[in-house]
Amino acid sequence: MSGTYQPPNTSSRDDIKEGNVIYYTCGDCAVRVPLEPSAPIRCQKCGARVLYKERTKRMVQFEAR
Ligand SMILES: [Zn+2]
């Protein structure tokens, strides 16, 4: 940590566009996880890859290869 690195987006972490994310529910810790369509399917809290898609109630599981 040198302190000279500046992230490209410092103020956009909370600027989540509701219309551009898909909400999943973690199958492990049950937290709601908003993910962008291009984002990797993974719980942002516990790191689990078993997420339930809220709209379909269907389990979407991604296994590491
Ligand atoms: Zn989780």
Rounded distance from Cα 34 to ligand 1 centre (Å): 12
Q: What is the DSSP letter of 10?
A: S
pLDDT per residue of the chain (65 residues) written in tens, 0 to 9: 667 776 676 555 555 555 688 889 999 999 999 998 888 999 999 999 999 987 655 666 777 66
Q: Could you tell me the CA-to-CA distances from 48 to 23, 55, 63 in Å, in that order?
A: 15, 19, 10
Domains of the chain (ranges plus CATH)? 18-61 (2.20.28.30)
Rounded distance from Cα 55 to ligand 1 centre (Å): 18
Check residue 59 and give its pLDDT: 62
Rounded distance from Cα 15 to ligand 1 centre (Å): 21
Rounded distance from Cα 9 to ligand 1 centre (Å): 25
Check residue 46 and give its pLDDT: 97
Rounded distance from Cα 2 to ligand 1 centre (Å): 31
Q: Which residue has the tokens 């992230």?
A: 7
